Structure 1
Amino acid sequence: MGAANDIDPSDNDALLELVDRMDELPRIDGWKYEEPTALDDIVATLPSPPSAQRVSSADLTDKVHAAWLGRIAGCNVGKPVERGDHWTVERIRDYLTLADAYPLRDYVPLLDPMPEGFELRESWPETTRGNVNGSARDDDIDYPILTLHLLEQHGRKLTPAIVGDAWLNLFPLEQVFTAERAAYVNMVYGCVPPETATRRNPFREWIGAQIRGDVFGYVFAGDPWSAAQLSYQDASLSHIGNGIYGEMWAAALVAAAFTAADAREAIEVSLQVVPPRSRLAEAIHHVLDLHGSGVTWEETLGQIWAAYGHYSWVHTINNAAAVVASLLWADGDYTTAVGRVVMSGWDTDSNGATVGSVAAILAGRQALPGHLIDPLHDRTRSALFGFDGSAISDLADRTVRLATRGLD
């Protein structure tokens, strides 16, 4: 930290030199975690990957359509307060209380005039209550659309290099962030995977890969291990360690939700794809233990913040813990799950999307609330070249076709 404080923030060369030096530092003494990055090494840590379960055609169609709608609505619910360094749990609660909207069960309301000390994100004209008219553009929506396109084109032959080529050709640089932007720049400079994930990429265990896993779970509905394995090809372009596990876990969680009796079962199954001695596995087990002990969601949220609040607001581990808690304490209700994860702070739109996806699969299409789904009007914006204005129903239909026929 001292070295960083001594550098002029405008001296880019010195900053990059520090990043390079940090990359060579050893782990601290007493490091107790085992967090490999290579897929074979990850597999070697797993006692037994989860088995596949059959999903009926009717359930597949219903739940895939629910998942796309649930993910996109959940993302939009979280967008106005997506900035965890400003929108803390306390600030979100205070704002919603002033708006007579606590606990959150709808899109975030707009207060006019805005009270001092509060500032909604710039997306608020499209994402606040009464102003949603189709889905706003968001990377949490761009990546699922891109994944669907890539799986249609390449199936099981997907590789990190193929994903990278798609980013360069379809994604504007300024619409990718943190680890993804670092990997993108590395590709521009001629790096190839796995160096794209490691060179000058201090964000490589942040949440960016975790938000990209859902469509693998849709396509491999009921087969968490296949979903996790193929998602690795996507995650390893930009992430290592817990960053990769985050996407594998999210893909497995979504896939498991298609056949699980409840959220706890889906979460327990999804843990089977996460290295058991990793920090991500430790955090998820921690939340499961809290749920088993009978404490409230509010008490759990306080413990999650106490244990993982030192991480960046866009890190994998703390956000995954918030996702797990919101699903476990929702009692199967979509609106409760999404509202609680947004009220948890940190990366609210990403977590709203992930929770929205899983909670919608568990609930089914008919149980989704009209006040959140109807304003989407079956369409979404996207920064991907050629995919703006996509019909949500078309994305779901294509996903069902792909899941039904299987991947080559």
Structure 2
Amino acid sequence: TTTSLSPEVIASGWTQHINRFIWVSNASARSLISRGVLPPVTGMGTANVNRLMIDAQLTTEIFGALCPGMPERALELADLPIRTTSAGYAAHAAQFYAALYALAPLVPADLSERDKAIWLFQHARAYLPNTSKSADICDVVFADFLANPDPNDWERTRDLVYQRYQLNAVANGFRYRAWYESSVNFASGIIALLYGECDYRKTVRIGTCSGWDSDNATATLGGMIGLMLGSSQLSALFPATNFSDRFWILRTRDNLPDYLLSDSAAEDTFSLMGERMLDIIERQITAAGGLIDSDRALWLLPPANTPSTSWNPRQRDDARSANNAIRRAGGTVTPSSSVPLGNPGGRGVPWVSYMANAVEGNFAGREEVDGDSSFYCSLGAAIPPGTEVVLSVVYDREVHLDAVRFIEGERYDDGVVQGGWFEGLAVEALQGGSWNAVPTTQSVALDPVAPFQLIEFTLASPILARGVRVRGLPGGVNRFVTCAELDAILVESAPPIANTWDSNGDGVRNVEDLYAWHAAPADLTGDGVVDPHDRVYQEAAVRWREWNDMTNGR
């Protein structure tokens, strides 16, 4: 029944159920979880070298299916699951698919099949930052699709993708990593979406023939079109085929319920899965302001919002990072350590700049340099026993913060060196030219074993400060610490305002809202146009449960 998943719930679920038939970033994340590392650090570059592979974009689109017509909620629900295995532009690719699934029920029925594909693409694209490599992929593929005189020549665009992102990747400012990376496979998915024109057979054929890790985007897009068609219409495309509804999940996953006790070869059915999902879906609809008529099995989805990156939870988190915000504003961020420069011998790096470069939470999604994701390590500084290590980040201006985020690096106990952690942590803020202890609530206790801990110290109340620092005794025989990021977390700005049927803002949904809508018409369907469809939508909300009267013109 849990919908919004915590780091602990995700880690527990993986430990219980996901232990076999996993590869690349999924395998890396699972290995990290076995060491006590929690999401989202399992998907950060400092811990997971495979975070830019395809993994997240083939496992998280289901959150869009759970939020029909509500891509903003889909992105919220999918956020931590996506970041369990991915970061940067790979996370953006996964977000695109989650949004795509949520948008599927909103596609205007009067569009041609080609225009439906374009509508879906453009709306999902709007949630990605223009700086992202995934946005570049979207824009390059879409531009070539529109310029192509032959709507069936998808191979022309596929060749362009190969040239730009694989063969000549470096010359174009990118890096080709592997046939199972996020980028080329995301591109092949966009090709199949656009050239497939929402035709199931055509889309699946193009996706399958695109190459690279082609089964994954193909399955994702096939599932999306299945959502649009429904099982009956999809089955009608294959009249000679009797599709199985049974599912043998225990072949690849562990400790899951058996819903078919009398069936020795399967444990579940897709129909049963769908029934179990209905409660989650209806909770999402009502939480977003939608309406449900159980007697007539009807949903009235909440008013749609104009797609934009302001709804992307990664943008909002990035905006709260002082390390990012100050640099974007043209300011300076100055990290420092109280111990002299050491020589960690390949165990992290000795340069403090790495603990304040903000790559761990950056929303931009640009091509990454793997080395930038390393962590600061004080090994080799040779400090006396009982000496505290103090790590600081100072800004060239005051910031309004309500938390301090500390992300630890790797821990070592390899028979050669032992250390990499703090025995305890105290938080201080630079105010009025002096460092002062500030009362905080710590998100999790320091773990005596697990590496890469993310700890958020929430202040009792927001403060103005020019810097933050943490201090404590270093752990281990060799007395050293590691730090992937130390950041002041800014007070969150007001979230975007969602569309509502309460047009007059009095907190009540009634006929007065219909009058208010006529006085100031608004786009409620999310198609970017204010027209009679929006009036009908407003009236449907005001006259909910009068469906028979409405459909009969009364």
Whether TM-score is above 0.5 comes out as yes
AA aligned opposite 1:398: R
Aligned residues: 254
* Equivalent residue, structure 2, for 1:346: 212
* Equivalent residue, structure 2, for 1:303: 160
Measure the CA separation in 2 of the matches of 1:372 and 1:335.
13
In structure 2, the residue corresponding to 1:329 is in which secondary structure?
Answer: helix
Structure 1 unaligned residues grouped into runs of 5+? 1-152
Deviating 4+ runs (over 6 angstroms): none
Deviation for aligned residue 1:374: 4.0
AA aligned opposite 2:3: G
Change (3 A) 1:365 1:371: same
Q: How does 1:2-401 map to 2 (within 5 A)?
A: 153-156=1-4, 158-172=5-19, 174-198=20-44, 199-261=46-108, 262-295=116-149, 296-309=153-166, 310-369=176-235, 370-371=237-238, 374-382=241-249, 383-384=252-253, 385-386=255-256, 389-401=267-279
Pick the structure with greater CA Rg: 2
Give deviations 1:171-219, integer Å, cap 9, x for gaps.
12x3221111111111212223333223542210111111122211111
Deviation for aligned residue 1:343: 0.4
In structure 2, the residue corresponding to 1:165 is in which secondary structure?
Answer: helix
CA contact (8 A) 1:229 1:248 kept: no
Give deviations 1:372-404, integer Å, cap 9, x for gaps.
994541022222232553201111222233212
Deviation for aligned residue 1:340: 0.8
CA contact (8 A) 1:207 1:319 kept: yes
AA aligned opposite 1:207: I
Measure the CA separation in 1 of the matches of 2:85 and 2:214.
21
Measure the CA separation in 2 of the matches of 1:374 and 1:397.
24
CA contact (8 A) 1:224 1:255 kept: yes
Deviation for aligned residue 1:354: 0.7
Change (3 A) 1:186 1:332: closer
Measure the CA separation in 2 of the matches of 1:162 and 1:223.
24
Deviation for aligned residue 1:294: 2.9
1:406 pairs with 277, 280, 284, which one?
284
**C-alpha RMSD of the superposition:** 2.1
Give deviations 1:74-119, integer Å, cap 9, x for gaps.
xxxxxxxxxxxxxxxxxxxxxxxxxxxxxxxxxxxxxxxxxxxxxx
In structure 2, the residue corresponding to 1:386 is in which secondary structure?
Answer: coil
Identity among equivalent positions (%) equals: 22
CA contact (8 A) 1:249 1:270 kept: yes
Deviation for aligned residue 1:284: 0.8
Change (3 A) 1:162 1:206: same
Measure the CA separation in 1 of the matches of 2:280 and 2:226.
20
* Equivalent residue, structure 2, for 1:71: none
Measure the CA separation in 1 of the matches of 2:228 and 2:132.
27
AA aligned opposite 1:400: L
Measure the CA separation in 2 of the matches of 1:230 and 1:287.
28
Give deviations 1:14-40, integer Å, cap 9, x for gaps.
xxxxxxxxxxxxxxxxxxxxxxxxxxx
Measure the CA separation in 1 of the matches of 2:284 and 2:72.
15
Deviation for aligned residue 1:285: 1.2
Measure the CA separation in 1 of the matches of 2:95 and 2:242.
31
AA aligned opposite 2:144: L
Measure the CA separation in 2 of the matches of 1:287 and 1:400.
35
Measure the CA separation in 2 of the matches of 1:319 and 1:288.
15
CA contact (8 A) 1:218 1:399 kept: no
AA aligned opposite 2:145: H
AA aligned opposite 1:293: A
Give deviations 1:126-185, integer Å, cap 9, x for gaps.
xxxxxxxxxxxxxxxxxxxxxxxxxxx3123x123321210001112x322111111111
For normalisation by structure 1, the TM-score amounts to 0.58
Change (3 A) 1:171 1:372: farther
Measure the CA separation in 2 of the matches of 1:373 and 1:210.
32
AA aligned opposite 1:386: L
Measure the CA separation in 2 of the matches of 1:218 and 1:207.
20
Change (3 A) 1:362 1:182: same
For normalisation by structure 2, the TM-score amounts to 0.43
CA contact (8 A) 2:188 2:214 kept: no
Measure the CA separation in 2 of the matches of 1:266 and 1:367.
20
* Equivalent residue, structure 2, for 1:26: none
AA aligned opposite 1:401: D
Measure the CA separation in 1 of the matches of 2:239 and 2:183.
28
Of 184-193 and 320-329, the range deviating more from structure 2: 184-193
Measure the CA separation in 1 of the matches of 2:242 and 2:234.
13
Structure 2 unaligned residues grouped into runs of 5+? 109-115, 167-175, 258-265, 288-554
CA contact (8 A) 2:179 2:213 kept: yes
Measure the CA separation in 1 of the matches of 2:139 and 2:279.
35
Measure the CA separation in 2 of the matches of 1:324 and 1:391.
30
- The structure with the largest helix share of the pair is 1
